[in-house]
Amino acid sequence: MFSNSPGRGWNSLTPFQKIAIAVVGLLLLYFFITSVGSGFLSPGRLLAVAAILLIALPVHEFAHAAMAVALGDPTPLRQGRYTLNPLAHLDPIGSLMILLVGFGWARPVQWNPRNITVDHNLGVILVAAAGPISNLLLALLAVLLIRFGLGADAISGPFLAFFIQINVLLFVFNLIPIPPLDGSHILFALLPFDTYNLRMQLSQYGFLLLFAVIFLAPSLIRAPASAITGMLFRLAQ
């Protein structure tokens, strides 16, 4: 996920958005409590979640930053986001979502499209797509490790399987065309008209729409993720 506008963070949220996040936090806590003891906290899954938080999410955000820098914008460098250090990227709520539901987010990388050396819309698409593609590549890397014989024991096997599943979920999740996810930037860049007003309107309710999809229509995420994961597992055989 990335942002091409400054001033993002908790203090920039409206009271409505803060209340929505608080409600979702309580729902997540309930989900966590009721899931304990059901295999939810297996060693393989916990190791995969740790790898997502320490590797996949930092790689995702670094991919955004690296693409922006490659296109001529030094903003991620100045803000310390051109790094694989997890502490520079992790978001508390997004990290908790990774643990509980398998998909979440990190802190958006900020960049300035006015600094890039290519067409504005093309640059937006390239920067936005870099993050989700990095997750798909990490899933493919795990598939290769399985094909080379790793993942045969009781811990590494579930670890690699969960790592593939969560990276694919992140790939699909971030392509949802709801602000502030990467898919919304790609969609707005592809639309043949000025999207400023549309972006502003959707951004006001982005968090609410996002959580509505997660809790009320999870199949919109799970179905394509399951199809992609199935293809990857077949490649691993």
Active centre residues (catalytic): 61
**Integer distance in angstroms from the first to the last C-alpha of the chain?**
32
Looking at the DSSP bridge assignments, the partners of residue 56 are: none
Region of residue 9 (left: phi > 0; alpha: psi -120 to 50; beta: else): left
155 is written with which tokens? Answer: 């811990």
Of the candidates 164, 101, 172, 97, the one whose C-alpha atom is nearest the C-alpha of residue 131 is 172
For residue 4, the tally of other CB atoms under 10 A from its CB is 20
Q: Dump strand ranges (E) for the chain.
A: 2-3, 109-110
DSSP code for 90: B
Whole-angstrom distance, CA of residue 58 vs CA of residue 216: 28
Could you give the C-alpha distances from 109 to 58, 95, 127, in angstroms and in order?
11, 16, 10
The residue to which tokens 């798909």 are assigned: 136
- Asked if residues 174 and 183 have their Cβ atoms less than 8 Å apart, the reply is yes
Q: Which residues lie below 8 Å from residue 109, measured CB to CB, with a gap of 6+?
A: 1, 2, 3, 61, 64, 65, 68, 76, 81, 89
Of the candidates 136, 131, 1, the one whose C-alpha atom is nearest the C-alpha of residue 67 is 131
